[in-house]
Amino acid sequence: MCDDTTSIVDQACKTITDTWSQGNSDLYVPFHAFHLHYAYSDEKIDSLNENTWGLGYGRSLYDNSGNWDGVYGMVFSDSNKEPQPIVGYARQWILGNKDGLHTGLGYTAFLTARARMMHYTPFPGVLPIASINYGKAALNATFVPGGDNNGNIIFLWGRFGF
């Protein structure tokens, strides 16, 4: 599927393909979005959904250096209680033993779509991610930047390997 050349695109293709075909299965459980109150009016905060319950599936693989790659898809309840789908790739550099307690810091590149933003027209994004992990379980977080009355969200989800 991917060429055997050394271009960045081919290397990314190989990493994603290897992660999907050789990785372990993961269950994703999105559960909370904390809207940073300094960026919102009180009325807006009162109208927002912070319980982002949903579900997802992914595949993950630790490389030879102990770092983590993941390919995933999930759907969750967005800030307006509308379904928000997302598919993406994530990379984390890991500190600690992957079989015990460890942390990760990295990024995710994704496609998502929102009901109130271009009527579910897909759009890309890249966000930082951090995690606290124990064995095959992880608590993950990302920060969605924004302006007045939008963005400025800390989004939390769990990942459970099986």
Give the residue numbers marked as catalytic. Answer: 35, 78-79
CA-closest candidate to residue 157, choices 144, 145, 141: 141
Residue pair 91/62 in contact by the 8 Å Cβ criterion: no
Any alpha helices (H) in the chain, and if so which ranges? 8-22, 42-47
In this structure, how many other beta carbons lie within 10 angstroms of the beta carbon of residue 32? 15
Residues pairing with 32 in the sheet:
156
* Alpha-carbon span 138 to 62, nearest angstrom: 14
Residues pairing with 85 in the sheet:
75
In this structure, how many other beta carbons lie within 10 angstroms of the beta carbon of residue 155? 20
* Alpha-carbon span 31 to 33, nearest angstrom: 7
